[in-house]
Chain A
Amino acid sequence: MTVEASPAPLGRSAFQRFIGGYGQEIVVFLSIVFLFIVVGAINPRFLSDTNINSIFAGNAYIAVAAIGMSMIIIAGHIDVSVGALIGVIATIAGTLAVSGYPVWVAWTVPVLFSIVVNGLVGALVAYTRIPSIVVTLGMLSILKGGLISATAGAWISDMPPEFMIAQMRPFGIPSAVYFMVILTIIASLFIRYTDFGRSIYAVGGNMEAARAAGINPERTVVGVFALHGFFAGIAGILFATQLQVIQSTVPPNLELTVITASVIGGVSILGGTGTVIGSTLAAILFACIGSALIFLNVSAYWLRAVLGLMILATVLADMARRRRAK
C-alpha cells in the first residue's frame, strides 16, 4: 500500500502489524514446520503421501468446527455441545442418505438443522442472559440423550458412494482439505472485512462499548451462534462421510478438541481477540502431534496430556500478556 505525501509514517509498518496481529498463529505454524522436520528426520515415513493426507484430511472437520468455535469464543461465549451436535448431524445425514433421499438433501438438511439449533441457542444466550456454558451444557445433554434414545447407538453403513463427499479427491487432494482451506480463508476475510465480523470482536471485547457504538449485541450473538451452526454443520457432514460407517453416538471429547484448537490458535478465552487462521493451524498441529506420537512409538494417549499442557501454557501466556498491557 502506498500513502503519498505523508512524510511521517502513518503507524506501524505492514511487517510490524503482521507480527503484532498474528503472533500466536506464527508460533503454531512454526511448530508444525518444526514437527515435520524433526519427526520426518527420525522417521521418514512420517512424510509419506498417505500420512500427510491422513493428517490433513482426517482432521479437517475439526478445523472447520474450530472456525465457528473461534467466532463464538471471540464473541465472549463458548459452546460445549458442538461434539454432540456433530454426532447428531452425522447421524441425520447418514440416515437421510441410506433412506434414499437425494444426496443434496442429505447434505443440506443437517446443515440447516444445525444453523437453526444453534441460532436458538444463541437467542437463549443473548436474550435471557443465561451464560452460554450453561445453555450449551443443557444442549449437550439434550442432543446426546436424544441421539442415543433415537438410534440406540446403531451403526449406519452402506451409504451411497456419491454421498461420501469427504472421500472425493478432486485433483488428487481430499475434498475435506478444500473445505478446510476455503472455509478458513472465507471466514478470515469475513471477520476481518465486514461490519458483522468486527462486531463479533466488539461484543466480545466490551459489550457495553459495543452497544454505545451502535452495535446490537444480542443480534450479534444470535448471528454468531447461527454461523457457528453452519460450520458445525459442514464439519458434521465431513465427519459423516469420511468413513464407511457412521457410529450414531457422540464422538467423545470432540468439543474439547475443538475448543482447544481455538484457544491454542490464539483466541483468548476471555473474548475479544483471535483469528480463525490460528484455530485451523492449531487443528493441523494436533493432528501432526497425534500422528507423530504414533511414528515415534509413543502411546497415542499422551496426545490428550500434551493438548492439556498446551492449553494451560497458552492461557497463561494470554493472561500474562494482558497483565503486561495494563
Chain B
Amino acid sequence: MGSGTQNSDSAGGDGATSGFLPIELRAVSKSFAGIKVVSNVSFDIRPGEVHALMGENGAGKSTMIKIMAGLHQADEGDILVNGKVVKFASPKDAHAAGIATVHQELLLFPELTVAENIFLGQTPKTAMGLIDWQAMRVRARDLLNSLDSHDLDIDQKVASLSVGNRQRIEIARALAQDARVLIMDEPTAALAEADVQRLMAIVRNLCARGVAIVYVSHRMPEIFALANRVTVLRDGQHVATKPVSEVDEAKLVSMMVGRSIDRLYPPKQGENGNVALELRKVSFGKVVRDISFSLRYGEILGLAGLVGSGRTETALTIFGITPPTSGDILVDGKPQVISSPEAARDLGIAYVPEDRGQQGLIKAQSIEDNIALANLRRLMRGIFVDAARVTEEARKAITRFGIRARGPEQLVRQLSGGNQQKVVLGKWLATNPRILIMDEPTRGIDVGAKAEIHQLMRKLAGEGMAILMISSELPEVLGMSDRVLVMGGGRVVAEFDKAHATAEAVGAEMTRSDARDAA
C-alpha cells in the first residue's frame, strides 16, 4: 500500500485531512500514582493502514492502547475521531467510535459459545427487544466465514479452543462492532507459526476492507511484512512516526533503545581469577556425557548448542538437581559431592532457571517477598522472619539491578518482563553466590532490558563472579562469552576462545554435532 502522499512525521494532522482519520491522538499524557507513563504523544491512524506501535516493555505502548480503547482516560491531550474531539469514558464509548481491541490476554468468556462471545454486549434483538439467538448464530457464521474461518464451530464453548482460534473470535468480535480501527496487542506472541501466517492473511484482508490496524509487536519480520507506518515510543515519549520504507531493523532498534546496538554487549572488565568450578568427566545417564571443563572467577563461559543438546541438563547436574552418576565436580579445587540444590547453594552456586514465570517468581507477591524467598534462613531472627531486613535486602536489589519499581512492596506481576527478570536475579544473587549459572538469561524480554541484563552480568563478572551462561541466541553467546563451549548429544563438541568464536564457526559446530548425534 503506497501511503506516501502524506507527510511522514506525525505532526501533520491539520483540520483538512484529519476529518477522515479514524483516530488521531494529540499530545496525550497519562500518569499513574504520580509517575508519568505517557508524555505528550501524538500520532494518527489512517484508514486501511497497518500502523505498528513499537517500544520496549514499559515504553508506554500498553497505556496508549488502553487510552485508545477507553480503558484508561488521558490526563492531558485530545483524541480525535473523524476530526472531532471525543472523550472515552469507558470501552463502550470507544466501541461506538469504531475502535476495537484484540487484547493480548484475549478477553473472552470461556463458558459461553463462540457465537455469543462474538456478540456479547451488542447482541441482535427481536422486535420484542429480546436476544435473537438464531440471528446471532447466522451473523456469527457469516463473520467467521468472511475471515476464512469456516472450520470454527459457532456453538462450541470457547474454553476448548486454541489460542489462534480464540484470536479469530476476538477479531470477528471487532468486525461485529463495525470497527474502523482494530488494535492488536502482540497478536502473534502466543501463536504457532501456521497461525501467524493465517493471522497475517486476516490482517491484510481487513486492511483491504479499509479497517486500520494498530499493530503492537516486538517481532521485526512481521513489522516489515505488514506495516505501512511505525510509531516508536521510548520511556513514555514519542520518538517518531515514519513510513516503514524509511527505516530498517537497526534503525528501529536504536530508536527504541535510544542508543545504537553495537554497544549492547559490554566489554570484559578485569582479569580472570582462579578456577572456581571444574568438571572432570561428569556424566548423568545418557543426557550428560563425559563433560569436562573449568570456569574461572571473573569469567563468563557460554554454553552454546541446539535445544536438547544437554546444556540445561548439565546445569541441573552441577546444581545438584540431578547429581552426577559418574565423574567429579571440583569447587575451588576441592572435589565436592553436590547431591541437592541446598548443597549447591551452600557451596556458593546459584542457578537462574530458564522458565522464570513458572519456576522463578511468585507474581502475585511483592518484590521483597520474592527476593526473601530464596534467603529465608539468612533473614530469620529467632523463629521469625526479620521484616526490616527483608525490605532492606529488596531495596539493595532494586538499586543494584536498576529495577524500575515504586518500591519493595510493589507486586511483581505489575513489572515489565525485563524488570521481572531483574527480580529473579536479585532473588538468587541475594544468596551471595560465587558461581552463577544462568539458563537463557534474556529469553522473552525486550531489547533494552536485554542490554541491561548483559551489563549486569558483566558487572558481576567484573566483581569476580564466575558465570556459566546457557543461551540459544548466537549473538548473545558470541557477544557475552569470554569462552564458548558447544554442546551436542550431551557432550562438549568444541571449545572456542573469544577471538575464534565467530558465528560461522560456532554455528557450524552446533549443527554438525546435531548431525553426528542423529547418526
Which A residues fall within an 8 A CB radius of B? 1, 3, 6, 8, 10-12, 16-17, 20, 189, 192-195, 198, 201-202, 205-206, 208-216, 268, 272-273, 322, 324-326
Contact = CB atoms under 8 A, between A and B. Distances in A.
B137 to A, nearest CB: 5
B159 A11 contact: no
A325 B159 contact: yes
Q: By DSSP majority rule, is chain B's interface helix, strand, loop, or mixed?
A: loop
Contacts of A326: 159-160
Contact of A11 (B91, B107, B112, B153): B153
23 contacts: A3-B134, A10-B138, A10-B141, A10-B154, A20-B155, A189-B130, A192-B131, A193-B133, A202-B120, A202-B121, A205-B112, A209-B108, A210-B109, A211-B71, A212-B91, A213-B91, A214-B95, A214-B121, A215-B120, A268-B111, A272-B110, A325-B110, A325-B160
Given A209-B108, A212-B103, A214-B91, A195 B134 contact: no
Interface string B86-128: 0000111001000001010101111110011000111100000
Given A11-B115, A11-B155, A214-B121, A202 B109 contact: yes
Contact of A195 (B95, B115, B131): B131
A205 B109 contact: yes
B459 interface: no
Nearest to B121: A213
B351 to A, nearest CB: 30
Contacts of B153: 11-12
A322 B159 contact: yes
Nearest to B145: A8
Contacts of B141: 10-11
B138 to A, nearest CB: 6
B363 interface: no
Given A195-B131, A201-B112, A205-B110, A11 B120 contact: no
B268 interface: no
**Lowest 10 CB-CB distances: which A-B pairs, in order?**
A209-B107, A214-B92, A213-B121, A325-B159, A205-B109, A273-B111, A193-B130, A11-B155, A272-B111, A12-B155
Given A1-B134, A3-B138, A211 B159 contact: no
A198 B111 contact: no
Contacts of B111: 201, 205, 268, 272-273
A211 B69 CA distance: 11
B204 interface: no
Nearest to A205: B109
Contacts of B280: none
A193 B131 contact: yes
A214 B154 contact: no
B242 interface: no
Given A12-B153, A209-B109, 8 more contacts: A11-B153, A193-B130, A201-B112, A208-B107, A213-B120, A324-B160, A326-B159, A326-B160
B157 interface: yes
A58 B153 CA distance: 44
A206 B155 contact: no
A195 to B, nearest CB: 7
Contact of A212 (B101, B110, B138, B154): B101
Contacts of A12: 153, 155
B103 A195 contact: no
